[in-house]
Homo-oligomer: A and B are copies of this chain.
């Protein structure tokens, strides 16, 4: 199965890659690595579930927000490569979860991103991960993800 076939089977149409909110670009390629800027759960110019996990946002909402942010990250990879088949490996997911004090289920939230990456890229989607709870997030986003991928020549 190709990545595009996986997307189709999952019923996913990739969004436009979101623009940044400051003086930076949304991806850079260096050698065979692509790195994205921090991705937020934008969907059609709205941010999904702003707020804190363990506060206004529950785990299921956080899971879907993380999935949406990962979808935006995949859209950045598509913009960077033109063809997602060129992605050899998702190297690393950096997951930051906006939390109320005492929240401990960052892993369950970030699985929303990780599950999507594995569904879309198969074995090539098996990535390393950081999972951290952050007290304050730009624009009150409930998650922020950074993604590193290896790309073919």
> Does A81 count as interface, using CB distance less than 8 angstroms?
no
Chain B contacts of A28 at CB under 8 A?
89, 91-92, 126-128
Are B31's CB and A110's CB within 8 A? no
Give residues of chain A (41-100) contacting chain B, Cβ–Cβ below 8 Å: 54, 89, 91-94, 96-97, 99-100
In the assembly, what is the distance between CA of A129 and CA of B36, in Å? 8
With A24-B126, A37-B128, A106-B136 known to touch, is A30 a contact of B30 (CB < 8 Å)?
A: no
Copies of this chain assembled into the complex = 3
Chain B contacts of A21 at CB under 8 A?
107
Question: Quick one: closest B residue to A20, CB to CB?
Answer: B129
> Does A120 count as interface, using CB distance less than 8 angstroms?
no
Question: Quick one: closest B residue to A149, CB to CB?
Answer: B30
In the assembly, what is the distance between CA of A37 and CA of B91, in Å? 10
With A22-B111, A128-B24 known to touch, is A136 a contact of B101 (CB < 8 Å)?
A: yes
Give residues of chain A (99-125) contacting chain B, Cβ–Cβ below 8 Å: 99-108, 110-111, 114-115, 118
